[in-house]
Amino acid sequence: MSFDAATQSPQTDTISEARRQVEICNACRYCEGFCDAFPAMFAERVFGEGDIVQIANLCHNCRGCYYSCQYTEPHEFALNLPQALADVRVDSWDRYGWPGGLGALFQRRGVALSAALVAGIALLFLAQAMLTPANGEGFYAVLSHTVMVAIFLPAFLFPMVVLALGLRAYWRDVGGAPVRWTHLRRAALRAGQLKNLDGGQGQGCNFEKGDRYSQARRHAHQATFWGFLLCFASTSSATLMHYLLGLEAPYGLFSLPKLLGVPGGLLLTLGAFGLAGLKLKADPQLGARNAWGGEMAFVLLLGLTGLTGLILYAVSGSGAVPAMLALHLGAVLTLFLTTPYSKMAHGFYRFAALVRDAQQRQA
Amino acid sequence: MSGIETAGWDVIVAGGGNAALCAAIEAAETGARVLVLEGAPKDYRGGNSRHTRNFRCMHRGPLSVLTDSYGEDEYFDDLIRVTKGETDETLARLAIRQSEDCLPWMERHGVRFQPSLSGTLSLSRTNAFFLGGGKALVNAYYNTLEDLGVTVRYEAQVTHVHIENGQFEALDVTLDGESLRISGRALVLASGGFQSDIDWLARAWGSSARNFLIRGTRYNRGVVLADMLDQGAESVGDPTQCHAVAIDGRAPKYDGGIVTRLDCVPFSIVVNRDGDRFYDEGEDVWPKRYAIWGRLVAAQPDQVAYSIIDSRSVELFMPSVFPPEKADTIAGLADKLGLPADKLAETVEAFNAACGEGAFSPQELDGLATEGLEPPKTNWARPIAEPPFYGYSLRPGVTFTYLGLKVDETARVSGPDGRYANIWAAGEMMAGSILGQGYLAGFGMTIGTVFGRIAGQEAAAHVV
C-alpha cells in the first residue's frame, strides 16, 4: 500500500470510484432516458468533485441503470452506479452536517438511531414525571404546552440551522447560481411527483422485483412523503390555532389538525412500513455500503412516529395517554433532532440537486 | 435432470439472444411447450444482443420514438450501399417490411424505446434506441418467457444436433457438467456466429486474428454452427470474413461493447507500430469509415495502430472510456505509446508541412486536404501543433462473422437433401443470408427480430 493510498480519505475514495464509473457511462449513454442524473452527466467531459456530488444527489437510486447495464460484474468494468452514487451521497450528507461524524453514525448505525429513540422517549417520560402540570386538558394534562414548546422549539430550530448551513455548503460545492422561481417550480414538480423514480417513462423503478419494473417503491415513498407533509401541516395548523385564534387542543375530528393529521398519519404509517418491507426484498448491494441498518432504522422510526400518533388519538381519554404521549413525542423528538444526520437529510439535498439541475438545463 | 430429457418439448431453441427469445415467445404464445438452451451463464445471457443499442425500423409515418418516415426503398438502398450489392433482395426486403410491425410487437413484450441518444441525432429517423440498451431488451424478453411458463436453462451448451433423414430428432447438451440427450419436435437455431472461437478465427483469417479483440460475448463460439456445417447444412457468407472496426486498443479481449469505440480518427493522423501513416484518415465522416479501419489496422504489423491528435481536437468527439495518453511533446507522446520518437516526429512534421490553408469544420467534409503527401489526408487536415498532444492505440474489434446457415423466407434451414423437415434458424447464425459484407447500424436486431419471430411461428405451426 502506498503512502498516498493510506492518506486518502474514505470520501476521496468514493468520489474517485464514482468518477471512474461515470466516465464509463459517459462513453456508453444507453441509460440516458431513465432519470435526470444521466443527461446531467452527459453534459460534462471532465468531472470535478462538485459535479460528482451533484450527480450523486440527483440519483434517486431507482436502479434501472444497474439492471440494464452490460458492464456489471462479473464484467471487469464492474459497474454498480446506484451503489457508487449512494456511497458519495452518504459521505456528502455526513460532510455537510455539523458536527461531522454524527451523519456517519446515524446514517450507518441502526442501533444508534434506536438508542436515540430510547433516549428521546425516556426524556419525555422524565419530563412528564418531573414537570407534571397543575391543570390542563387532554394531553396537556400530562405535559403542559409550555414544556412541549420548551422541548420542541429548539429541537425543530437546531436541525433547521444545521441543514441551512449544510445546504449552503452544498450549493457552493456544486457551483450553484442564484435561485429563480422557475428553478424551484421545476424542482418542486419533479420532487412532488417523484419523477426520478418513475423509470423515465412511468414504468417505475427496479427494486423489490429485480430487473422487473415496479411502482411499489414510488407509491410507498409518495405515501410516506405526503403523509409526513400532512402531519407537519397538522401540527403547524394546531400551532397557528393555538397562538392566533386561542383555540387549544384537544381538537375534534372535524378540526383542521385532525383532518390533516389522521390521513397524514395513516399515509405515513403505511408508506414507511411499506418501504421497510420493500427494502427487505431488494438487493442491499445496490444501495450505499454499510448504510442498510441506518436506513432501515430511519424508515421504521418514520413509521413508528405515524403509528404512535394514530394510537395516541385512538386512546385519548384513557389511562394509556401518558405512555403513548411519551412514545409519540419521543419518536417525533428523535426524528427532528437527527434530521440533518439521518436518511431524512436526503430530501433536502435531493431538492437542492433538483434546483441545481433545473439551472443547468436552462444554461 | 432426466426430466428435461423426456419432457416432450414441442420447440427447442438453441441460443439465448434476441432472435432466440423472439422465436421462443412466438412459439410459446401458440401454446407450444418450449425449452430455451442458453450457453452462457445467466449474468452473460443474451449473446451480442446485450450490447446492442437500437433497432433499424421501416415506418411510413412517426412511430414510437421514430420521427418522420423511413420507407422500404430508402432502407433497402441504405443496405445495398453498405453491402455493395451482396444481399439477398427477397430476404432483405422481407426483413425491412416486417420491421415496421415488429416495433409495436417489441413494445407489447416489454421493450422500451427512448429518443436518439445525445451524440447520435443522425439516427433519430431510422433507428429506435432501447431504453437502457440491449440488456434491458433481453431482460424484458426473459421476463416475458417466465410469464409464459417457458423453461430456460443457462450454461446449457448444445454440442450436437441429431438429424435422421432430414428430420431433427434430439440434441446433445452439456448441462451442469452432465451430457444429456434432449429430444423435441422442432428446433430453432439461434446461437450466433463463431467470432469468439479465436482458433477458428485464426484458421479463417490467419494467425494475426489472435490479436483481434472481440467486441461482444465470449460465448459465440459457433459450436452449433460447426456441427450443422459438418452435417452438410447449406451455408452462406464468406467463411473467411468478419466484420471488424477499429476500437480502443486497451479494450478487454471480450465484451468491451459500445464504450470501446473511438471517434477520433478523422481529426488525427494514424500511424502504425513503426510510426508511418498508411491511409487517408479524412476520407469520409467517421460513421461511414469506422468499419474499414478494422481491416486497415488488421493489416498493420502486430495489428495495432495509433491515432495522434493535439489539444485542439480532444473535445471534438464522444468521450473515450479510457483516457488518452498525453504529453507536451511528440517525442514524449511517442515514449508513452511505445513508438519510435524520431520517426513519429518526422511523420508529424511531414504531415504538418503538407497542411494547407482553409477553414477547419469538424461536422462536415471540409475539404481541408494535405498537398503532396502520400497517403493524403483529404479532409480535416489541420496541423498537429498545439500541445499537449494525445494518443490512442487502435486494434481491430470483431463484431460478428458472416458465415452462417442459409435459410428461406420461412427461416427454414436446408441440408444435403433439401430443406430439413423441422429446423429453422434466426439471428446472427443466418444473417449472412442477408448481409454479404458491411453492416448497417441496427440491422442485426432487425434480422434477429423478424426471423426470430418467423422461426418461432413456423416451428410452432409445425408441431401444432
Select from B51, B261, B319 the Cβ nearest to the Cβ of A70: B51
Residue B342 has pLDDT above 70, yes or no: yes
Q: Quick one: pLDDT at residue B77?
A: 96
Q: How far is B136 from chain A (nearest CA, A)?
A: 5
Distance separating alpha carbons of residues A24 and A71, to the nearest angstrom: 9
Q: How far is B87 from chain A (nearest CA, A)?
A: 30
Residue A281 has pLDDT above 90, yes or no: yes
Contacts of A33 in chain B (CB under 8 A): 114-115, 131-132
> What would the mean pLDDT of B363-379 be, rounded to a whole number?
96
- Choose the mutation target among B127, B131, B315 for the interface with A, i.e. most A CBs under 10 Å: B131
> What would the mean pLDDT of A227-242 be, rounded to a whole number?
94
Select from A26, A70, A201 the Cβ nearest to the Cβ of B131: A201
Distance separating alpha carbons of residues B51 and A46, to the nearest angstrom: 25
Contacts of B248 in chain A (CB under 8 A): none
- Higher-confidence residue: B122 or A113? A113
What is the percent of chain A with per-residue pLDDT over 70, rounded to a whole number? 97
**Is cis: bond before B301, omega within 30 of 0?**
no
Contacts of A69 in chain B (CB under 8 A): 132-133, 135
What is the ipTM for the molecules in this complex? 0.95
User: Which residue of A lies nearest to B42 if distances are taken between CA atoms?
Assistant: A74
- Higher-confidence residue: B98 or B6? B98
Residue A7 pLDDT class (50, 70, 90 cuts)? very low
> What would the mean pLDDT of B411-421 be, rounded to a whole number?
97
pLDDT tens figures, B245-301:
999 999 999 999 999 999 999 999 999 999 999 999 999 988 888 888 999 999 999
Q: Quick one: pLDDT at residue B2?
A: 58
Sort B350 into a burial class: Cβ within 10 Å, 0-12 / 13-18 / 19+.
middle
Q: Answer yes or no: are the C-beta atoms of A22 and B319 closer than 8 Å.
A: no
Using the beta-carbon criterion (under 8 Å), do B259 and A28 form an inter-chain contact?
yes
Q: What is the mean pLDDT of chain B?
A: 95
The C-alpha cell at B424 is: 429453422
How many of the other CB atoms lie within 10 Å of CB of B429?
34
Residue A6 has pLDDT above 70, yes or no: no
Question: What are the DSSP calls for A169-221, one per residue?
Answer: HHHHHTT-----HHHHHHHHHHHHTTGGGTTTTTS-B-STTTTS-BSHHHHHH
Q: Quick one: pLDDT at residue A73?
A: 97
Select from B44, B118, B255 the Cβ nearest to the Cβ of A32: B118
Taking the whole predicted model, whether its pTM rises above 0.90 is answered as: yes
Residue B39 pLDDT class (50, 70, 90 cuts)? very high
Q: Quick one: pLDDT at residue B288?
A: 81
Distance separating alpha carbons of residues A216 and A276, to the nearest angstrom: 12
Q: How far is B109 from chain A (nearest CA, A)?
A: 13
Select from A26, A74, A200 the Cβ nearest to the Cβ of B319: A26
Q: Is B112 on the interface with A (CB under 8 A)?
A: yes
Q: How far is B319 from chain A (nearest CA, A)?
A: 6
| Secondary structure (3-state) at B207 | helix
Number of inter-chain CB pairs under 8 A, A vs B? 86
Q: Quick one: pLDDT at residue A2?
A: 36
Q: Is B131 on the interface with A (CB under 8 A)?
A: yes
> What would the mean pLDDT of A90-97 be, rounded to a whole number?
95
Question: What are the DSSP calls for B349-380, one per residue?
Answer: HHHHHHB--S---TTS-----BSS-SS---S-
Q: Quick one: pLDDT at residue A5?
A: 39
Of B404, B399, B410, give the one whose Cα is nearest residue B82: B399
Using the beta-carbon criterion (under 8 Å), do A70 and B257 form an inter-chain contact?
yes
Residue A138 pLDDT class (50, 70, 90 cuts)? confident
Please give the distance of CA B178 from its chain centroid, rounded to a whole number.
32
User: Which residue of A lies nearest to B54 if distances are taken between CA atoms?
Assistant: A30
Using the beta-carbon criterion (under 8 Å), do A27 and B257 form an inter-chain contact?
no
| Secondary structure (3-state) at A262 | helix
Residue A10 pLDDT class (50, 70, 90 cuts)? low
- Give me the half-sphere count of Cα atoms (radius 13 Å) on the Cβ side of residue B387: 8
Q: Is B108 on the interface with A (CB under 8 A)?
A: no
Using the beta-carbon criterion (under 8 Å), do B257 and A201 form an inter-chain contact?
no
Using the beta-carbon criterion (under 8 Å), do B143 and A68 form an inter-chain contact?
no
Contacts of B131 in chain A (CB under 8 A): 31, 33-34, 68, 200-201
Residue A1 pLDDT class (50, 70, 90 cuts)? very low
Contacts of B134 in chain A (CB under 8 A): 70
> What would the mean pLDDT of A291-306 be, rounded to a whole number?
97
How far CA B259 is from CA of A77, A163, B252, in Å, comes to: 11, 40, 11
pLDDT tens figures, B112-171:
999 998 877 689 999 999 999 999 999 999 999 999 999 999 999 999 999 999 999 999
Distance separating alpha carbons of residues A124 and A119, to the nearest angstrom: 9
Backbone angles phi, psi at B414, to 5 degrees: -115, 150
Q: Answer yes or no: are the C-beta atoms of A86 and A59 closer than 8 Å.
A: yes
> What would the mean pLDDT of A119-125 be, rounded to a whole number?
93
pLDDT tens figures, B430-441:
999 999 888 899
Strand duo B9-14 + B156-164: pairing = unpaired
User: Which residue of A lies nearest to B257 if distances are taken between CA atoms?
Assistant: A70
